Amino acid sequence: MTGSAAATGSIVFDAVEIDVAGRRLFVDGVETPLEPKAFAVLCLLANHPGRAFGRDEILDAVWGHRHITPGVLNRVITLIRQALGESANAHQYLHTLHGVGYRFDATIKPSLVADDLSLPSVQAIVVSAATNTGVTPPAAVAVTDSVVEHVLSPTRTRATRSLGIFALLVVAAIITYFTLRHAVPVATNTAPVLVVLPLHPVGNTPGDAALAEGLSEELITRLAHIEGLHLISRTSAARAQEDKFDLNQLSERLHVTHALEGSLRQSGDQLRIDLRLIEIPGGRTAWAQDFDRKFADVFSIQREIAQAVAQAMTLKLGLANAVTDAGAEPQWFRDYLELRRKLWEPNNMPEHPELVDKLHALVARAPSYARAHGLLARALVQDLRATSVTDAVRAEAASEAARALELDPDQIDAHVALASLAWRATDWPRCMEEYRRILNLDPTDSILRAIYAARLADLGYGEQALHQVEIGLISDPLNFESNYLRGFFLDMLGRHDEARQSLDATAELRADITPLLVSARMFNAVWRHDFAAAREFALSTPASSPYRDANIAVIDALIDPTRWPQAQAKLESSERVTGRDHFARLLQPNADSATQIAMLERISTLHTSPFGFLLWIPEFSALRQHPAFQDFLRRKHIIDYWRSYGWPPQCKPDGDGARCA
């Protein structure tokens, strides 16, 4: 392994070239897009092969501060690994040092700096400045960059360099070293990250699986309020258990330092929970305890376990108030968990009316139980697209939510129902206030955070929507919905190469092909003008999908405009079968703007569809100049919201309306 490579110029190893001056990455001679922060981190690590960098050291160097949640750097490391063609489980260059940070191992080909010149971590600031990360370099470094810009060409072949330039680079680097050698401290500690694996039900008591799952989720919510502890969300925890992650996979894919696992057994009125806290990746048991209680004590045992885990990890307790279950029967809790589990199962719509009837029965049997009222309210508005959801049903949902909050002001299901009702009524202030309350009560629920992000996107706040999804991915990196929403929002911001990377990574999370992801990848390829890839995605649409033929026909028409009549016929056929607008119709050339805006409005009102973001994508900027768009903003009370809460960057006030780019 050679010494450090140049801070500017190129870093070359194996089939990889990092063109630092040109800010480009080539793998096997092909340019590979990489986000600016990811590129800066790669330059920092590859510039010092064999050296261990602490997480805080990397954050200070590239971001200019360390006030970044752990998942941000984790995601950047994942992007680098994907760009280099490796994964967390099969890595050649980038290695995780648990409890420390990362090390880059590669044999760097000699470049501008002599093999025996060892530059310390401060050279990361030079790289950071070269990638516009906000850290201002000293004058000596600025001179170095100036020389490189005028003398060195960022081409694939490097000619013989002048000895004078070489000497100047060395002198500049040494001056920088002695000027800033103490600027970047080395990280010594990282915040603990805990995954609570779903409890394993032991025995055949009916409802044990729902009880074990429900208690695990309750525990995650409680532990999320412990100061200084990061929690992995229930979705990724369940995926890790389902896929039988070993300790190394828990460490590499979820970036956890501890795992809580255990079992649950009920025998008559007795409940036994066995728990073990494991250090990751070593596997040492840090704490273990058995909880033998009567089932009637199920409400108090959750808080007791949370306190025990916090003490075992020597963390300061900052638990939320206990859930209001005063006077509740344990059987009510079991029935609630069983019905909630069935409500969130995929493809449960045929059973939905029966589940609502059972919730009505539970409310009648337990009129003072806040959870029952809240879950009924949420179930009633679960699918607001359905034509059978009448004003009377909405009124009932609002009444049940109000009753739940009267019994327990922090009942999350009730707040979710009210947020959904407010969104449907375009009462944006109430809608956004409810979602903020929800996420304060349960910060680990990445699904509800993703819905909040979608509402931000509805209002044109693309950066805020992306930020919320990325916060969710910190605690729930394996969540499919949050990952593909990240790709949507990157496209909304016009960052199509980054969106492609995100959508490609999302596709690896599921073995089955979802039409929604196919459409997202197809649109992204079109916006990148990669019509060959777009056609491949169209062809990958499941054969059973009514959207498949129209997808293929539209891409063929984009390649050969003479084929638009055939594409139009396929679109109409698909819409007759599904009763819905086909997204690909938006790609038709010379379409009527008012018609397309009306279509996007219909799409944006689909409760399960994120494609309302297309109203704001750069490629459809012409639509935002049309009077129909102004009418849409007024009818949806979006302009009213902007006036009170702030304008998105692409829009400005214009009389009683708005002017949007």
Is pLDDT at 27 greater than 70 in this prediction? yes
Residue-level pLDDT at 109: 76
| Domain definitions of the chain by residue range | 10-180, 193-312, 330-441, 480-660
**Could you tell me which residues are beta bridge partners of residue 659?**
652
Residue-level pLDDT at 135: 31
Residue-level pLDDT at 95: 85
Q: How confident is the model at residue 327 (pLDDT cuts 50, 70, 90)?
A: low
Which residues, other chains included, contact 640 with Cβ-Cβ below 8 Å and sequence gap of 6+? Answer: 428
Report the CATH architecture of 10-180.
Orthogonal Bundle (1.10)
Yes or no: say if 419 and 434 are a contact pair by the CB < 8 Å rule: yes
Yes or no: say if 209 and 168 are a contact pair by the CB < 8 Å rule: no
The arithmetic mean of pLDDT across residues 108-128, rounded, is 40
103-117, 264-278, 339-353 — which one is most confidently predicted on average?
A: 264-278
If one compares 8 and 85, the residue with the highest pLDDT of the two is 85
Q: How confident is the model at residue 147 (pLDDT cuts 50, 70, 90)?
A: very low
What's the one-letter identity of residue 169? L
Is pLDDT at 544 greater than 50 in this prediction? yes
Q: What angle do CA 210, 213, 214 make, to 5 degrees?
A: 80
Express each pLDDT in 33-69 by its tens digit: 888 888 889 999 988 888 888 888 888 888 776 656 5
Strand 101-104 to 94-97 pairing: antiparallel
Is pLDDT at 322 greater than 50 in this prediction? no
* Secondary structure tally for the chain: helices H, strands E: 27, 15
Strand 193-196 to 230-231 pairing: parallel
287-301, 321-335, 615-629 — which one is most confidently predicted on average?
A: 615-629
Q: Looking at 343-352, 455-464, 476-485, which range is the least confident one?
A: 343-352
Residue 503 CA to residue 514 CA, distance in Å, equals 12
- May I ask the CATH class of domain 193-312? alpha beta
**Does this model's pTM top 0.75?**
no
Give percent above pLDDT 70 in the chain.
80
Q: Looking at 168-177, 218-227, 326-335, 588-597, which range is the least confident one?
A: 168-177
Q: Matching CATH topology for 10-180 and 480-660?
A: no
CA 160 vs. chain centroid, Å, equals 46
Is pLDDT at 634 greater than 90 in this prediction? yes
Indicate the CATH number for domain 330-441: 1.25.40.10
Yes or no: say if 115 and 2 are a contact pair by the CB < 8 Å rule: yes
Residue-level pLDDT at 656: 87
Residue-level pLDDT at 329: 83
Residue 432 CA to residue 437 CA, distance in Å, equals 9
Residue-level pLDDT at 153: 30
The arithmetic mean of pLDDT across residues 216-227, rounded, is 83
Residue-level pLDDT at 89: 56
Express each pLDDT in 358-367 by its tens digit: 999 999 999 9
Residue-level pLDDT at 87: 60
The arithmetic mean of pLDDT across residues 448-453, rounded, is 93
Express each pLDDT in 466-516 by its tens digit: 999 998 998 899 999 899 899 999 999 999 999 999 999 999 888 777 778
Q: Which token pair is 304?
A: 């007791």
Residue-level pLDDT at 444: 86
Measured CA to CA in angstroms, residue 171 lies from 112, 167, 513, 562 at distances of 12, 6, 56, 63
Q: Longest Cα pair distance anywhere in the chain, in angstroms? A: 88
The arithmetic mean of pLDDT across residues 147-170, rounded, is 34
Is pLDDT at 112 greater than 60 in this prediction? no
Residue 264 CA to residue 273 CA, distance in Å, equals 5
Yes or no: say if 658 and 633 are a contact pair by the CB < 8 Å rule: yes
User: Sheet holding 24-27: strands in order across?
Assistant: 10-13, 16-19, 24-27, 30-31
Residue-level pLDDT at 64: 74
Q: Looking at 102-111, 284-293, 319-328, which range is the least confident one?
A: 319-328
Angle between helix axes 548-559 and 531-539 (nearest 10 degrees) is 160
Strand, coil or helix: 276: strand
What kind of fold does domain 480-660 have according to CATH?
A: 1.25.40
Residue-level pLDDT at 268: 81
Q: Looking at 38-42, 187-191, 652-656, which range is the least confident one?
A: 187-191
Is pLDDT at 178 greater than 70 in this prediction? no
Is pLDDT at 180 greater than 70 in this prediction? no
The arithmetic mean of pLDDT across residues 133-141, rounded, is 30
Mean of pLDDT over the chain: 80
Is pLDDT at 186 greater than 70 in this prediction? no
Residue 82 CA to residue 508 CA, distance in Å, equals 12
